[in-house]
Amino acid sequence: MYRNEEVESLKKQMVICVVVFIFVLLIGLLVVFNRFSYDEASVLKEIQKKESFVVLIHDGDYDLCSSVLDEEKISYYLFDINSSSYDEVLNKLHINYEVRVPAIYVIEDGEVSYNITNIKDKKTVRDFIENNNIASILEGVEEDE
Per-residue pLDDT reduced to its tens digit, 122-131: 999 999 999 9
Domain containing 9 equals 5-144
- Residue-wise DSSP of 8-75: HHHHHHHHHHHHHHHHHHHHHHHHHHHHHHHHHHHHHHHHHTT--EEEEEESS--HHHHHHHHHTT--
Edge-first strand order for the sheet with 77-80 is 77-80, 53-58, 103-108, 111-116
Structural domain count of the chain: 1
CATH of residue 99's domain is 3.40.30.10
Which pLDDT does position 52 carry in this prediction?
Answer: 87
pLDDT in tens, 52-84: 899 999 998 889 899 999 999 998 998 889 888
